[in-house]
Amino acid sequence: MPAYVHINLRVIDPAKQAALAPRFQAALQEAGGRILHFGRVAQVLEGEDAPLPMAGVFEFPTLAQALTFYNSERYAPIKAERREAQEARMFVVEAG
């Protein structure tokens, strides 16, 4: 059953963000994930909390693969640098 990682973010260091993007994409693909969407939030439809301006959705074949990627040694340094480059909220959901 597929799993989807959702991220809502604000870039705080554009240079660091730009440097991380290709490394993140390579690690994601290596882990069996793919980017379904990444771009600006167009409009808030419901809710009181304002979203951060950017959003992304990444698909993995299974929840286990998504969690393995997030907790992997390969992603750990990227994750640490990502936290310096952006403010983010992230969660994973399982389809079905």
Give the domain ranges of the chain: 3-41+52-94
Q: What is the per-residue pLDDT for 96?
A: 82
Give, to the nearest 10 degrees, the angle between helix 14-30 and helix 76-85. Answer: 150
Q: What is the per-residue pLDDT for 49?
A: 87
Pull the structure tokens for residue 14: 């554009």
- Say if residues 95 and 72 touch (Cβ distance below 8 Å): no
Q: What is the per-residue pLDDT for 92?
A: 98
Architecture of domain 3-41+52-94 in this structure: 2-Layer Sandwich (3.30)
Q: Give the pLDDT means over successive 10-residue stretches in the chain (96 positions).
A: 97 96 95 96 91 96 97 96 95 94
CA distance 92 to 16: 24
